[in-house]
Structure 1
C-alpha cells in the first residue's frame, strides 16, 4: 500500500492514480458548492452571503493535503501536483466560467490565485512527505 508507485505494475499504478484524482474531484464537489455566486440573506436584503463555508474550505484543505502527502510519499512530485490539485482547479475553472460576465468579472484573477495556493500547498506537503521515503527509493 505504501510501495513506490513508479516501480509497481502499470495497472495498479494507473488505477491508484485515477482513484487519487477522483478522490480530489469528489472532495471539491462535496466541500464546495457548484454555484459560487453570492446570494441575498433574505429576499430584498442588501447584505449578501456566500455558499462557501469555513468548514467546507477546511475539509477540502485537509483532504487535499492528505492526498498530497500520500502521493508525495508514493509517487513523483509532478504527478502528485497534477493528481491532487488538477481536478479541483479544473472544476473551479468550470464553475467560475459558467457564471454570467457581470457576476464574475474578476474570476480569472481569483481562479489563478486559488490555483497557485492549492499548487503551492500540494507541492510543499508532497515534498515534505518525500523526506520520509527510504534512501534507496
Structure 2
C-alpha cells in the first residue's frame, strides 16, 4: 500500500497517474477556496472610506500556505519536476486571477501587481518544497534523471 501511495507516478498505470494528478489540482483549488473565501458583496469598512472589507484572514493564508507546501512536497516526491508547479501552484493562481478580475476596478488598481507577486510567491514556495521532497526520493536506475547523469 505504501508503494502505491508514495511510489513514482511514472511507474503507475496511466489512469491512476492522471486521476492522482487531477485529485491534486482539485485539492489545491479546494484549499484556496476554503482558506481564502470570496466575498462578492465588497462593502466599505465605514461610510466614506475607500477601503473595503475582506474575508481573508492571516490564519487562512497560513493554512493555505501549509496545505500547498504539503501538496507540493507530495507531488515533488512522486512525480516529475514540473508537475507540482502545474498541479499545486497553477489552480490557486488562476482562481486568484479570476477573483481579482471580478473585483470592480478602482482608479489606481494594484490587483495586477498583487496577483503577479502572489503567483511568484506561490510558485517559488512550490518549487522549494518540490526540490526538498525530491532529495528524499529514492530513484531507481531507470528514471530519466538517472539517464541524464549517466551520460555526463
Provide the TM-score with structure 1 as the length reference. Answer: 0.90
Moved more, 101-110 or 23-32: 101-110
Report what 1:113 is aligned to. Answer: 117
Structure 2 residue ranges without an equivalent (≥5)? 144-152
Contact 2:39–2:54 (CA under 8 A) maintained in structure 1: no
Residue 96 in structure 1 maps to residue 100 in structure 2: yes
Which of 84, 88, 91 is matched with 1:87 structurally?
Answer: 91
Give the secondary structure class of the aligned counterpart of 2:60.
Answer: helix
Residue 8 (structure 1) shift:
1.0
Report what 2:150 is aligned to. Answer: none
Structure of greater Rg: 2
Moved more, 52-61 or 95-104: 95-104
Structure 2 counterparts to residues 41-56 of structure 1, below 5 A: 41=45, 43-44=46-47, 46=49, 49-56=53-60
Moved more, 100-109 or 84-93: 100-109
Q: Which structure is richer in relative contact order (CA contacts within 8 A, separation 6 or more)? A: 1
Which consecutive aligned stretches of 4+ in structure 1 deviate over 6 angstroms post-superposition?
Answer: none
The alpha-carbon distance between structure 1 residues 100 and 56, as it changes in their structure 2 partners (threshold 3 A), is same
Task: Determine the C-alpha separation between the residues in 1 that align with 2:108 and 2:20.
Answer: 36
Give the secondary structure class of the aligned counterpart of 1:77.
Answer: coil
Structure 1 residue ranges without an equivalent (≥5)? none
Residue 48 (structure 1) shift:
5.3
Cα-to-partner distance string for 1:66-108 (whole Å, 9 max, x where unaligned)? 0000000000121111100011000000000011111771111
Report what 2:149 is aligned to. Answer: none
Provide the TM-score with structure 2 as the length reference. Answer: 0.81
Alignment coverage as a number of residue pairs:
136
Residue 131 in structure 1 maps to residue 131 in structure 2: no
Task: Determine the C-alpha separation between the residues in 2 that align with 1:70 and 1:22.
Answer: 14
